[in-house]
Structure 1
Amino acid sequence: MSLETSVPVIIPGNERFLRFIVDTKYSIYRRTLFVLILFITMLGGNKTHEFTDQTFYVLKAAGFFFTLLLISLNLYVLIPVYLFKGRYLHYVFWVFVVIVCSFILYTILKAQLPELRIKPVKQDDDGYMADFLSLSMILCILCAATSGLKLFQRWIKDNYRIVQLENIRMHTEMDFLKNQINPHFLFNMLNNSQVLIQTDPDRASEILIKLSDLLRYQLYDSGRQQVLLSADIRFLIHFLSLEKIRRDYFEFQVQQEGTEQAVLLPPLLFIPFVENAVKHNIQSVEGAFVQLSFKLIGRSLIFECRNPKPLSGHTLAEKGGLGLPNVKRRLELLYPGKYQLQLKEEPALYTVHLKLSL
């Protein structure tokens, strides 16, 4: 199962205008309205007496389709490839190239017009310069208008995305608090520490330190926008270490490659997968274990989580619980189009494979 589809930003139903501007299901209506307005604008106006009726409307139609082509080039190529990726000089350069190429094409076509004109028109050097300035102004206005519309759409999406991310982050923290850092979990840890204080003080101290670090991270660091990857991994290690102390038969392994680099990530990104792995492998065929792997290759982070299937035979979808849909949604908001999530189910093993483009 691979997750690579885009999840739309959710906009409240009462914001009808914003939904029409942003929602993908209205894209065909937006394009139709835009083409209609452009068509009326360009084919409207008074007819000149330089050309015959047929030639006049043919030239108008050609200008309409050429303008539509340039607008599409800006909307679907230049803006996504250059403007949205912060390559502003490249964007300006290619807009200038488009203007120059358009003027060259315009000049070539205009050279053929004398044969179609009813009345001949003289063209001097000043006329060519005026044509170039006029064409440049028109194309710049079109680029500014379409770019402004795209930026407005992105601004709306980003604002709602921030709100949704905050809500999901709060739900993630609350789910984790309810599922793990609950009174029963704390009671077990403190009770184990109390027993070990008499027999193994060093071990008791280790438990309390890990529990303290776990709670500190949950209460303070998880409220930040981003944390170090190494800190998130350390949090998972403490969590699994305490789980191992709490249970008689439980093993875990954490493999790291390249994670010593100062990579920043949103907090608690991996805990839903690990929490599910711990929770649903209690009655496994080969004993309870969790294997984690973090590999940083270039600008890509690859995370894997493995655990044995329980004897009850739950499917991977059944074991996901409520946390998995939330983490999928969170990934789409944080890394739109920049992540791949695969949930693999084998005869005796579950595997979560997550690849992030940082």
Structure 2
Amino acid sequence: MKFFKIYQNFFLRNLIINALVVGIIFACVYDEFSVENLDWFYLFKKICLGYLPMYFGVLCSNIVLIKIFFFQKKYKIFAVLFIVYWICFYFLMSWYFLYTDLGRLKTLSVFSLVCNGTGIYFLHLWIVQKISQTSKDLINYESELSFLKQQLNPHFLLNAMNNLYGESLVAPERLPDRILNLSDMLRYQIEATKKDFVLLVEEVEFIKKYIEYYAFRNERLSITQNYEGHFEGIEISPLFFLPLVENAIKFSGETSAPYIILDVSVKERKLSFSINNNFLITGSRLSSTGIGIENLKRRLEVYGLKHELKYEKKDDLFSIKLIIWDLPTAAL
């Protein structure tokens, strides 16, 4: 874990990688000098002359050949281009080394450069993937813990039991649905946070159940929900919208006439989510920590989602709008 933290430092990571490349150049030219007559400035200049073309040679191989062809599973084209590229590179660099008086570039050195450069690139991708996965797991655990703290604390359960008891006296025929609603919410939360992504359809259904439950708890709460587009096959990280809906219900609930307007629309893989709620300008007993929005920003960053997030307070209205492009789709 400590290594992953160090690796996330852009400066240190590139310093280590570039030091390896310089080491290969150094090995190519060092044997041309005697220890007694070693001119370090001249040796440094030689290393710089050899460093740039070899560095960009590895860079082009990694971000063009490997990223575009290998990762796109065009293996036959990749194999041919990879061999042709490095053969041409070898002859070009052999001429370049003689032209710049660096000596003759050895085949072993180029082979070492290919292996090390490609290997370091794959190692880099693996480390970045592990860091990303660790961050996702941490966020999911934090979301699960936050939700469980709120939903499973004695105060919440006491209110839930009191509400269900009151419902059983007034309208007992509706009690089974209320119990199932609460049970489904808790079950979904426990199962969903074990995954990186869930179906958007499931996430929307969870939000509907969550809103339905709190509308039942607060009869004064007016909620308008609009859903447009085809949600099937689109994926999103679990409990993604919960903090925003949760805050809207919490802060609007303090007003005399609480209301929430929720709009969710999907067009192809573009998602638009907006929520508006009223709140008390003064006299609120709640403190706005901004944790919900900060958590959302962090998740957007960790999952690498292309997005646009806007929010503002105007008079007694709080508005937030989130647009996400290129959402992942479920495997068929």
Cα separation, 1, equivalents of 2:17 and 2:282 = 52
1:261/1:167 Cα in 2 relative to 1: closer, same or farther (>3 Å)?
same
1:322 matched to 2:291? The reply is yes
1:355 matched to 2:327? The reply is no
1:67 matched to 2:36? The reply is no
CA shift at 1:71, angstroms?
1.7
Cα separation, 2, equivalents of 1:322 and 1:300 = 25
Q: Using CA pairs below 8 Å that are at least 6 residues apart, which structure has the higher relative contact order?
A: 1
Contact kept, 8 Å, 2:28 with 2:109, in 1: the verdict is: no
Contact kept, 8 Å, 1:229 with 1:262, in 2: the verdict is: yes
Q: Which residue of structure 1 aligns with residue 202 of structure 2? A: 231
Equivalent in 153, 156, 162 of residue 124 of structure 2: 153
Report the residue type matching 2:261 in the other structure: Q
Cα separation, 2, equivalents of 1:355 and 1:168 = 19
Cα separation, 2, equivalents of 1:173 and 1:20 = 28
Report the residue type matching 1:310 in the other structure: L
1:339 matched to 2:306? The reply is yes
Contact kept, 8 Å, 2:24 with 2:113, in 1: the verdict is: no
Structure 1 or 2, whichever has the larger Rg, is 1
Q: Which residue of structure 1 aligns with residue 38 of structure 2? A: none
1:71-86 alignment runs, 5 A limit: 71-83=58-70
Cα separation, 1, equivalents of 2:162 and 2:129 = 47
Count of paired positions: 309
Equivalent in 204, 209, 224 of residue 253 of structure 1: 224
Cα separation, 1, equivalents of 2:54 and 2:20 = 12
Instruction: Find the residue that maps to 2:319 and give its secondary structure.
Output: strand
Cα separation, 1, equivalents of 2:67 and 2:150 = 41
Report the residue type matching 1:343 in the other structure: K
Report the residue type matching 1:102 in the other structure: F
1:291 matched to 2:278? The reply is no
1:172-187 alignment runs, 5 A limit: 172-187=143-158
CA shift at 1:239, angstroms?
0.7
1:312 matched to 2:279? The reply is no
Cα separation, 2, equivalents of 1:331 and 1:60 = 42
Contact kept, 8 Å, 1:344 with 1:352, in 2: the verdict is: yes
1:40 matched to 2:40? The reply is no
Contact kept, 8 Å, 1:192 with 1:204, in 2: the verdict is: no
Which string of whole-angstrom CA distances, capped at 9 and with x for unpartnered residues, describes residues 191-242 of structure 1? 3333333442333333222122212223344434443221111111111111
Instruction: Find the residue that maps to 1:252 and give its secondary structure.
Output: strand
- Root-mean-square deviation (CA, aligned residues, Å) is 3.8
Cα separation, 2, equivalents of 1:25 and 1:59 = 24
Cα separation, 1, equivalents of 2:14 and 2:88 = 30
Contact kept, 8 Å, 1:253 with 1:291, in 2: the verdict is: yes
1:43-192 alignment runs, 5 A limit: 43-46=29-32, 64-83=51-70, 88=75, 91-99=78-86, 101-102=88-89, 105=92, 141-192=112-163
1:207/1:349 Cα in 2 relative to 1: closer, same or farther (>3 Å)?
same
Contact kept, 8 Å, 2:66 with 2:78, in 1: the verdict is: yes
Moved more, 87-96 or 176-185: 87-96
Report the residue type matching 2:29 in the other structure: L
Contact kept, 8 Å, 1:340 with 1:355, in 2: the verdict is: yes
Instruction: Find the residue that maps to 1:342 and give its secondary structure.
Output: strand
Which consecutive residues of structure 1, in runs of 5 or more, have no partner in the other structure?
1-10, 48-56, 118-130
Contact kept, 8 Å, 1:277 with 1:290, in 2: the verdict is: yes
Which string of whole-angstrom CA distances, capped at 9 and with x for unpartnered residues, describes residues 94-115 of structure 1? 43453365367579x69x98xx
Cα separation, 1, equivalents of 2:266 and 2:81 = 35
Contact kept, 8 Å, 2:150 with 2:156, in 1: the verdict is: no
Instruction: Find the residue that maps to 1:255 and give its secondary structure.
Output: strand
Moved more, 219-228 or 37-46: 219-228
Cα separation, 1, equivalents of 2:184 and 2:232 = 21
Cα separation, 2, equivalents of 1:97 and 1:346 = 60
Cα separation, 2, equivalents of 1:273 and 1:262 = 23
Which consecutive residues of structure 2, in runs of 5 or more, have no partner in the other structure?
34-43
Cα separation, 1, equivalents of 2:111 and 2:265 = 46
Q: Which residue of structure 1 aligns with residue 165 of structure 2? A: 194
CA shift at 1:80, angstroms?
4.6
Report the residue type matching 2:270 in the other structure: S
1:290/1:279 Cα in 2 relative to 1: closer, same or farther (>3 Å)?
same
1:74/1:214 Cα in 2 relative to 1: closer, same or farther (>3 Å)?
same
Cα separation, 2, equivalents of 1:220 and 1:91 = 41
1:10-21 alignment runs, 5 A limit: 11-12=1-2, 15=3, 19-21=5-7
Instruction: Find the residue that maps to 1:223 and give its secondary structure.
Output: coil
1:64/1:33 Cα in 2 relative to 1: closer, same or farther (>3 Å)?
closer
Cα separation, 1, equivalents of 2:10 and 2:49 = 30
Cα separation, 2, equivalents of 1:319 and 1:193 = 30
1:90/1:241 Cα in 2 relative to 1: closer, same or farther (>3 Å)?
farther
Cα separation, 1, equivalents of 2:74 and 2:266 = 26
Contact kept, 8 Å, 2:25 with 2:50, in 1: the verdict is: no
Moved more, 262-271 or 97-106: 97-106
Instruction: Find the residue that maps to 1:68 and give its secondary structure.
Output: helix
